Homo-oligomer: A and B are copies of this chain.
Amino acid sequence: MDKIKTVIAYDGSCFKGWQIQPGEKTVQDSLESAIEKIAGKKIKVHGSGRTDSGVHALGQVAHFDAPLGSKMSADDWHRALNVNLPPTIRVLSSETVKKDFHARFSAKSKTYKYVMDTSLILGPHKFLRTWHHPKKINISKLKEACSLYEGTHDFASFAVNRGDGKDIKTERTIFSVEVNSDQEDTLIMSFSGNGFLYKMVRLLVGAAVRVAEDKEDVDWIREMLQNPGKSKCQYCAKPDGLYLEKVVY
């Protein structure tokens, strides 16, 4: 039985997130439907993690077990999936991996990028693909705030409980946060880390932008990192600007 690893891009504005939900169009559901059309049976797809409703992916990773006795190669799966998926989800590559590979549990690091547009009028082609936030942003303060996130911290102040009753560890390591402001009116923040909590990137962006707008002092972020969960960040940036860029194994 072959285990197939796929790298997937999707336009998050077309889906109610990654995870299957009754009555909603999700990415996982679209993938499982495509596989069912090809294999003639239902097969579970495992993603590297859930992305929320409206969040995009440029390099999400998912695996599934090909049906017993299937003679399809990884390349065959690649082509067949793209034929059976909507154009808003594309399989970028596909390969056979070892039995112990798991899209979620084998991941070593993930990179998310967050795209923000500060121009007065958002071009119509950027709608739902960027956070439109037409405010004056102090770039050096944004960089200072983002640099505080680097390293190993308890990010309990930057997480939302999924409400599924599970107690989770909230320590994570962020390897790097890069702020790019080369393009006029466009700000890109890239977060690489060993893992991210539910809504964590959007809360980190929300807090850094509060500081960069002079609405909070940078010490406000320091305190949330030093006293995890004591006060919670209430500023969650829109899903529109968030892209899961890559997962490294």
Check A11 against B88 for contact (C-beta < 8 Å): no
Asked whether A148 is an interface residue with its Cβ less than 8 Å from the other chain, the reply is no
Decide if A88 touches B121 in the complex (CB within 8 Å). Answer: no
Residues from chain B with Cβ under 8 Å of A127 in the complex: 11, 87-88
Which residues between 90 and 141 of chain A lie within 8 Å of chain B, taking CB atoms? 90-92, 121-125, 127, 129
Within the complex, the shortest CB–CB distance from A132 to chain B, in Å, comes to 8
Q: In the complex, A177→B123 CA distance in Å?
A: 25
Across-interface contacts of A9 in B (CB, < 8 A): 123-125
Q: How many copies does the complex hold?
A: 2
Chain B residues contacting A10 (CB-CB under 8 Å) are 124
Task: For residue A113, give the distance in angstroms from its CB to the closest CB of chain B.
Answer: 13
Determine whether A244 belongs to the interface, using a CB cutoff of 8 Å to chain B: no
Closest to A8 in B: B124
User: Hey, what's the 0/1 contact readout for A158-187 against B, CB within 8 Å counting as 1?
Assistant: 000000000000000000000000000000
Q: List the B residue with the shortest CB-CB distance to A127.
A: B87
Q: Give the most central of A58, A90, A123, A125: most B CB within 10 Å.
A: A125
Q: How far is the CB of A6 from chain B (nearest CB, A)?
A: 12
What is the chain B residue whose CB lies nearest that of A243? B125
Q: Is B87's CB under 8 angstroms from A121's CB? A: no
Q: Flag whether A194 is at the interface (Cβ < 8 A).
A: no
Q: Is the CB of A125 within 8 A of B56?
A: yes
Question: Would you call A82 an interface residue if the criterion is a C-beta within 8 Å of the partner chain's C-beta atoms?
Answer: yes
Residues of B within 8 A of A122 (CB): 87, 90
- A residues near B (Cβ < 8 Å) are 9-11, 56, 58, 82, 87-92, 121-125, 127, 129
**Can you list 20 pairs linking A and B with CB atoms under 8 Å apart?**
A9-B123, A9-B124, A9-B125, A10-B124, A11-B124, A11-B125, A56-B125, A58-B123, A82-B121, A87-B122, A87-B124, A87-B127, A88-B124, A88-B127, A89-B124, A90-B121, A90-B122, A91-B121, A92-B121, A125-B129
| 6 tightest Cβ-Cβ pairs between the two chains A and B | A11-B124, A87-B127, A88-B124, A90-B124, A9-B124, A10-B124
